[in-house]
Structure 1
Amino acid sequence: MPDRRPRGYQPDWQPRPATQELLAAVQLILGRYAAQLPLTIRQIWYAAVADGVLTRQERTYKRLVDVLGMARRSGRVSWLAIGDGTDPAVEPVAYDGPGGFRQAQLEAARGFRLDRQAGQEDRLEVWCASAGLVPQLATVTDPWGVPVYVSAGGLSGKRAAAQRAAAGGHSSVRILVVADWDPSGVHLYTALAEDVTAFAALDAPDVTMRFERLAVTERQIADHRLPTAPVKAGDRRSFPKAATTQAEALPPDVLAALVRDAISGSRDTGVLAEVLEREDVQRRALLERFPV
């Protein structure tokens, strides 16, 4: 039986009145969290539930996925407004000629940066269980030069964290973790901390590895009255509570503030200012090599 689902762009899509109302509500949500874009569809769904636009049922989430798919295909919602964690790719570097190569060099010089964590007591990393949240979190962490990684439990990624600790020139590394409050999220956090620490014991024996669950926590669930759900039937992994909460249930601006506060509260602003000043001087020197 042929697959009748829409493919490619759908400029002629004419949504029904009820769908138009849902899209209007989505646009309000995207406007409210403009500083945190791109949002994941799950974040939009939680916001729509909080606004009373949708009921908290899996069928309404599936409907939102379908509607936003068509909205993006038709141009009603910007492709840049939604992140789904499927963009990373490995592409060969190529230029259209020497002129293109030189332009790329100029753009690289304009974006020249030093290690903005140099000289700080701790080197920070943010790890997130949801790939779709990575671009959103990176917008917050970028000014401090703090990287964001997907904590999907990959063995190579954990070993790489230990190797970065060995090469980073810091006596301690602090890893801030954003994960769901459920058996999977708790297991992920524990496995990440134990595995990276074990790798670092050999790869970076002089570096102290520290881990902090930044979100979601029981306190945040209570403070922000986050929606909860029972533990999935059949999940026998150890979990201290009966109710679960997804990290994407946190409002995007609240999540951004948590990350921002955790980083800024541990940074020596004087050290960072010196790095930024050197960075600016060296960037200007690089740009002077390019004719106006």
Structure 2
Amino acid sequence: MPDKRPRGYQPGWKPRAHTVQLLTAVERVLARYAAQLPLTIRQIWYALVSDDVLAKQERTYKRLVELCGMARRSGRIPWEAIRDDTETAAEPVAFTGVTDFQQAQLEAARAYRLDRQAGQPARIELFCETAGMVPQLAAVAEPFGVPCYSGSGYNSLPGKRGAARRAAEGGHAAVHIMVISDWDPSGLHLFTALAEDITAFAATDAPGIPFTFERLAVTEDQVTELGLPTAPVKATDRRSFAGTSTTQAEALSPAALAGIVHTAISRHRDPDALDAVLAREHAERQALLHDLGHGPH
């Protein structure tokens, strides 16, 4: 029997009235968090749950996935507004000719930047449990030169070893790892395993460099203070957990998450050191552009 599911673009899609209402609510969420786009579908779902548009049930999430798919196929929701992490790509670098290559050099010069963590008392790295949140976190962390990593759940062994090796090569006296994970047994175990494994690798790969670890979110206090939706602890999960309910990190509004990350990074930065790096970065960028014939004379 042929598959009747929609394929390709669907410009002629005509949703029913109740679907239009839900779609309008989705568009309101995307507009509300325009500064944090792209969002994951689960983040949109949690926002709709908080807005009392949807019940916190798995069936409403599945319905939302189907709705967003059709809305993107039809052109009503921009493809770029929603974060997808199911595709892995490896594309070769190529140019159409010399002019294209020269334009790429110009763009590279305009994007020139230094290590904005240079001169700071400690190198900061940001880890998150959900890969789909990386672009939002990176938008906050990038101006500080702070990298963001995710293992889509439990961080990989090479990823944890990589943190120790970066510390050895980075020239910083200390490293501070910030973590965002769910408030549940898995999220807390992820944090503990990350801290223990990185510390153990660092004992060999970066001896003498102290590591500190901080869970930025989700915390039990944040669940209460922000009124985040919760779910019962799974009866089959026997790991120790102090909480009485669970909350996913994607339940945090994108704006609240951005504020938490920005505040935490700022608390650990020397603003004078950052300003010095930015001033040097600007001067060197202008020199590069001048050499390419595009800077001030």
Q: Same fold (TM over 0.5)?
A: yes
Query: Which residue number in structure 1 is paired with residue 176 of structure 2?
Result: 174
Query: Which residue number in structure 1 is paired with residue 222 of structure 2?
Result: 220
Query: Which residue number in structure 2 is paired with residue 257 of structure 1?
Result: 259
SS at match of 1:44: helix
Query: Which residue number in structure 1 is paired with residue 287 of structure 2?
Result: 285
How many aligned positions are there?
292
Q: Specify the code of the residue in structure 2 equivalent to 1:228.
A: T
Q: Specify the code of the residue in structure 2 equivalent to 1:81.
A: A
Alignment of 1:1-292 (within 5 A): 1-151=1-151, 152-292=154-294
- Is the contact made by 2:220 and 2:243 (CA closer than 8 Å) also made in structure 1? no
Q: CA offsets per residue over residues 68-112 of structure 1, 9 Å max, x none?
A: 011111111111111132355322111111111111111000000
SS at match of 2:135: helix
Provide the alpha-carbon RMSD of the alignment.
1.2
Query: Which structure 2 residue ranges, 5 or more long, are not aligned?
Result: none
Q: CA deviation at 1:235?
A: 1.8
Q: Specify the code of the residue in structure 1 equivalent to 2:242.
A: P
Cα distance in structure 2, aligned partners of 1:131 and 1:6: 27
Structure 1, 9-18 or 127-136: larger mean CA deviation: 9-18
SS at match of 1:101: helix
TM-score with structure 2 length normalisation? 0.95
SS at match of 2:45: helix
**Runs ≥4 residues deviating over 4 A:** none
Q: Specify the code of the residue in structure 2 equivalent to 1:193.
A: A
Query: Which structure 1 residue ranges, 5 or more long, are not aligned?
Result: none
SS at match of 1:243: coil
SS at match of 2:291: coil
Q: CA offsets per residue over residues 40-60 of structure 1, 9 Å max, x none?
A: 111111111111111111111
Cα distance in structure 2, aligned partners of 1:88 and 1:227: 32
Q: CA deviation at 1:241?
A: 2.2
TM-score with structure 1 length normalisation? 0.97
Q: CA offsets per residue over residues 233-276 of structure 1, 9 Å max, x none?
A: 32222222231100011111111000000011111111111100
SS at match of 1:213: strand
